[in-house]
Amino acid sequence: MNLRKYTILGGVFHVNYLHQPSQPQELASVPNLRITRSFLPNELQHVDFFESYDPPAPTDPNVRKQPEQIEEEMRKQEEALDRLIAIDLTWPQHVIFLELPIVCVWMEKEKHWTKRYVHDLKHNEDKGTMSLKTQVFGIFGLATLRYANLPFQAWDVKPESNGSVTINITTAIIILEFNVKDGLVCISQLQNSPNRALLDQIGKYVKLHRVKKMLKNAGIDIFPEHDGYCYVDGSCEKHWPTEKHLYSNMAILSGVFNFSWSRWNASQGRRNIVVQMREYAPDRSKQKTHLLVLVNPMKAYYIDCTEVSQAFVDKPVEGSKFCADLLNLVRSTTGIFIRKKVESYSKINVYAVYEFLVATRVVSFS
C-alpha cells in the first residue's frame, strides 16, 4: 500500500485470536468449593492463525464453459471463502470518506500495509458499513485515496471589511471556506459533507498547522506534498520559484484585491500562470470586473483576454509597461490611495495568507 498515494483514516481495528486461561469450575460433589487449574503464564495469549486461499483466476472471455462447470467453480469458491474469517465493520463517523475505503492489514515483520489477505469486500454506503473475509487476524485499517479532493474545481481569495481575508476552495464534492484573521485560520463553512465530521470546529481560529492536521485526520487533504502531482490527474505543476513568488505577491495584495481561478491556467504549461484579479471593496455592492493576469518567470502583465473568450490570447493590453512581477504591476497601474492601503495591511495576516496559499498550491492544482 503506497502511503504517498493512500492514507489510513479513522484509526485502526485490532481483531485477534486469543487463548483464554482456564476459569474456576464448580465442583458438584463439594458445595461452595471451586477449583482452577493454573498454567503459567496466566494471561491471554495470541494464537497464530492463517488460512490459505487462492483467489479465482480471471475468466477468459474467449473460453465458453458449461453451466455445470460454472456452478461447480462457484461452489468451490464459496467453500473456500467460508473457511476465512468474516468481519463486519462500521465506518468511523469522525472522518469523511469521499471514496469507498479499502481494507488493509498491517504486516508487522515487513512493516507495511497490504490488502493481499482481504477478500470479498462489500460496502453498504447508505448504512456506512462493510463486510469482508480475511485470511489472518491482526491490525486492520481503512485506506482511501489521499488526494481525492484534488484537483480543485475553483478557488477565490478576497478581503473582508473587518480586515480579514476569506479563501474559498471548491473540490469535486466538498466546498470549503476559510477565514484568515490576525495570523490565525478558521474553517468558516463546510458544505456537502456526507456526515457531521468537523462541524464542531467551524469558526475556531487556530494556527495553520493545526488546521492542516485537523483536515487530514478527517479525510479532507487539500495540502499536496511535493510529489502530489504524481497522484493527481488533471493537475499542471507550475514553475515552483515563480509560483511561490506569486503567492507572496497575492498575500501582500490580499487586503485590497480579489484573486480567483481562471479556466485558462491549466492549459498554459509549466512556466505560465493565469489568474483573475480585481480591486475589491467589501462594503460596495457593485464590484469591478475581473482582469486576467499572466505571470511567468520573466514578467507579469494584464492580457487582452477574458474567461468567456473563444480562445486564449496572451497579448498584453494596450499601453502595458514592463513589470517584473505582480506587485510591481499593481504599483505601476494603481493610484497612491491603493498603494498606501496595500502597504498598511497587517503583515501578520499577509504571512498567514502566504502560508495558506503555499500549503494548498491552488495555482498548480486547479
pLDDT digits (tens, 9 = 90+) for 48-66: 888 888 877 776 677 777 7
Q: Other C-beta atoms within 10 Å of 39: how many?
A: 9
Query: Looking up cell 497579448, which residue turns up?
Result: 315
Angle separating helix axes 347-360 and 208-217, nearest 10 degrees: 30
Percent of the chain exceeding pLDDT 90 equals: 63
Phi, psi at residue 3, to the nearest 5°?
-80, 0
The list of the chain residues with pLDDT below 50 reads none
- Residue whose C-alpha is closest to residue 106's, from 12, 184, 182, 34: 12
Residue 145: per-residue pLDDT: 92
pLDDT digits (tens, 9 = 90+) for 91-110: 888 898 888 899 999 998 99
62: β partners: none
Residue 40: per-residue pLDDT: 66
pLDDT digits (tens, 9 = 90+) for 302-328: 999 999 998 999 999 988 899 999 999
Query: Looking up cell 487449574, which residue turns up?
Result: 37
Whole-structure pTM value: 0.86
